[in-house]
Amino acid sequence: MRKIEAILFDMDGVLVDSEIPLMKCCIKHLKEKYGIDAKLEDFNDFVGMGEDAAIGGVVEKNGGTYLPQMKDECYEIYIQLAGTIVDAAPNMSTVLPELKKKYRLAVASSADRRKVITNVNVLGVEESVFDAVITGSDITNKKPDPEIYLKAAAAVGVAPENCMVVEDAVAGVLSGKAAGCYVVGVRGSFGKEELIAAGADAYVDTTCDIVDILG
């Protein structure tokens, strides 16, 4: 494996188990306020692409017209409930400070900054454990475009080829590979075969298992 100097983490599904809780918040709200009868499986095609694409795609799939306020409303519900419905990835509150001693760390999430910071709080770590937090609020092109990982690498001052990207979604793997990073897929929304087929260089069952790859 190439020399790794920085680790760039996706957030949802990698550092926190937040994808299903957010989907459930959206499904309930879209039904109650807009009469849109969405289902969990409707989100499958949009995992990892950011909530505008996900919520918008689900709304349109069910015959509705997407309004930006829909995402904001779903976010408000999620942020209020996150402390009770979202779990951190196992052991990451201790693993991240240990990794910080050897590597530059960053979050690279397609979600809006307020949701990302909410999830950092769920993790039980200070935001300062990350040398950079790049979110959907900071970019023009969402994953699978490489923009977010190129920005994260630049923000931590490490060349993309010396960065490890940790992702659970096909769109995120494609983004990391397009940026020139070493990409590790994590079991979650997609299985091993799908993530490897998308270009992941390695695969782990849980995020903390990247420690074994780093050696």
The residues annotated with a catalytic role in the active site are 10, 12
- 106: tokens are 């960053």
Phi, psi of 8 (to 5 degrees): -110, 115
Q: Residue 154, Cα to own-chain centre: how many angstroms?
A: 19
DSSP three-state, residue 46: helix
User: DSSP secondary structure string, 55-77?
Assistant: HHHHHHHTT----HHHHHHHHHH
Provide CB contacts within 8 A for 150, sequence distance 6+.
160, 179
